[in-house]
Amino acid sequence: MHIPYKGAALALTDLASGQISVTFSILAPVLSHVRSGKVRLIAIMESARNAALPDVPTVTETMPGFQKLGGGLGFFGPAGLPRPIVQRLNAEIVKAIFAPEVRAKLEDFGFRVSASTPEEFTVLMNNEFETYGRAVKLAGLKSE
């Protein structure tokens, strides 16, 4: 049975207390529950095993043929943001996330640290919107 939650924190609390038996979540909020032993990760929805959790298989290892959708974090700005500002923000953000102390913290939260250009990110987002849009139509989902 699908139980809609307004956020990961409530779903993870119910999972850790045994009120629900499974949930999907981004990795960061789950890690403390996993490390405390209250929650067991079944699989990671990444293309390769996560360095923070090397014993947790990928979803394609546990379900052959499963096609993983993309994912990640990105920074967005207002439409029409001048190109020089976009380029400068991108350069500074890339520099910041690869700073040793920031990178270590992100990896500790389970993130695989990588960067792209604004153009690459735009292509990724457009592909994600198209893929999820098809899935929503195919499933006949309607917004509430």
**Mean pLDDT of the 74-85 span:** 93
For the segment 20-72, what is each residue's pLDDT rounded down to a tens digit? 998 888 888 888 888 888 888 888 887 788 887 889 898 888 887 776 665 66
pLDDT at residue 68 in the model: 63
> Domain coordinates of the chain in residue numbers?
8-62, 83-139
pLDDT at residue 71 in the model: 62
Torsion of CA 32, 36, 38, 40, to 10 degrees: 70
| Angle CA 5–9–121, to nearest 5 | 85
pLDDT at residue 100 in the model: 96
Tell me the whole-structure pTM to 2 decimals: 0.60
Residue 78 tokens read as 């207002």
Map tokens 């207390």 to a residue.
17
CATH classification for the domain delimited by 8-62, as one of 3.40.190.10, 3.30.1540.10, 3.30.470.20, 3.20.20.110: 3.40.190.10
